[in-house]
Amino acid sequence: MPQLNETHDAQLRSWVESANQPDTDFPIQNLPFGVFRRRDSAESFRPGVAIGDQIVDLRALHAAKVFTGRAHDALAACNGKLPGLNELMAAGFEVWSALRLALSRGLREGSAQQSAIAKVLVPQADVEYTLPAQVGDYTDFYTSIHHATTIGKQFRPDNPLLPNYKWVPIGYHGRASSLGVSGQQFPRPVGQILPKGATEPQFSPCQRLDYETEMGIFIGPGNAQGTRIRLEDAESRIFGLCLLNDWSARDIQAWEYQPLGPFLSKSFATTLSPWIVTLEALEPFRTAWERPAGDPAPLPYLSSEQNRAEGALDVHLQTLITTQRSREANAAPALLAESNYRHAYWNAAQLVAHHTVNGCNLQAGDLFGTGTLSGPNADEAGSLLELSSGGQKPVALPWGEERTFLQDGDEIILRGWCEKEGFRRIGFGDSAGTVLPALLG
């Protein structure tokens, strides 16, 4: 497991001056990984690390032969045949940590490597991003008991939470092919919908389009089929976390989910932030994983003293919206809700342990979604389905519009950050996606 070390020191400053600004998501204490290329160029996508408003081009850094040892090996893994981070993810924690330490030392004020690294910086304003890894499999979970209970009350007022929820992490197999990074635009999905009071479905564009505020978990080294990853080893298999918007067609979902769960209501688009914040960078922001008094204790394979003591992560989450009208008026994005990942009923290590307990084999670059991360209060809801009480209570926007569900032209922006006294604030960047009109015919 990661531990606090010199890379977390709040007093560290970078010779990249923008990394020292108090409101940056990417100080030298963060160093998240992504995949980019210069906008409108013919160059290949390549791995990079964010520092302030710049990116360290890791392929160019490898060619410059600045680092040695494990850090050099890590850069070699960033220079493979795949454009993404899969080879680095597969290399394991010791290699990731060595590269993080070398980058931290090289980017600090007074570093003897400043001139060499400065030559491989690229302004973030000049780039475009792609998925940070080639995602072979994507599993979306359902880890917020507050979300599950609120939604359950809309459909089962007398029995909102199904009996297995407190015993087993619930998940379904998502669609990796429609994953995209911030800036993703997608047409409103079309499918079968059963109108209220009808006995037969109709084929129609979705009328109850929603977002879900989640986090994504990228897997590092996998496991052989037939083996399992134990809880105490699970975090060594997690490369890092990002923000994830699991767009949802609620009316298509209501008709199709019986009895096997989400299908076309989820597979049309999922939007990620382009940067993966490593678990090592998140180490200062661990917190106790807790359950309400009276809830059953997890089965032994999902429980340990260490996991209870520090298995949760204190990540603040914001969901914002812009509309066609607000952008034309140059209005600032409107805040819809705030929440926190620490409220999750199941934490990241438990998801890895449960996913593999039956012998399922994970692979480097696999992605988990946490499920909608709603908090205990009404204004901490992670979806419009909750905020609007299933469409019964429109949400007022500051420029005069209302929303029960998303309209064409709406953009949803997810933001996340960690802050704690004695440590530098670190962030995840934005996950922004926009709804386009449905494609008919």
Strands 184-187 and 426-436, bridge-based pairing: parallel
Q: What is the DSSP string of 213-250?
A: EEEEEEE-S---TT----HHHHGGGEEEEEEEE--EEH
Q: Are 22 and 425 in contact (CB under 8 A)?
A: yes
**Is 355 annotated as catalytic?**
no
Q: Of the residues 8, 62, 146, 147, which is catalytic?
A: 147
DSSP string, 121-142: EEEGGGEEEE-SS--S-EEEE-
| Cβ atoms within 10 Å, residue 112 | 8
In a 10 Å sphere around its CB, with 0-12 CB exposed, 13-18 middle and 19+ buried, how is residue 264 labelled? middle
Helix H or strand E segment including 152: helix 145-155
Cβ 345 vs Cβ 354: under 8 Å: no
Measured between alpha carbons, how far is 13 from 224 in angstroms, rounded to an integer?
42
DSSP 2-42: ----GGG-TT--BSSGGGGSTT-S--TTT--EEEEEETT--
Give the separation between CA 188 and CA 186, rounded to whole angstroms. Answer: 7
Specify the long-range contacts of residues 63-66, CB closer than 8 Å, at least 24 apart: 64/116, 64/119, 64/120, 66/106, 66/113, 66/116, 66/117
Cα 393 to Cα 192: distance, rounded to the nearest angstrom: 25
Our CA angle for 231, 347, 306, nearest 5°, is 50
Quote the DSSP letter at residue 284.
G
Q: What is the DSSP string of 328-380?
A: HTTPPPEEEEEEEGGG-SS-HHHHHHHHHTTSPPP-TT-EEE------SSGGG
Residue numbers annotated as active site: 147
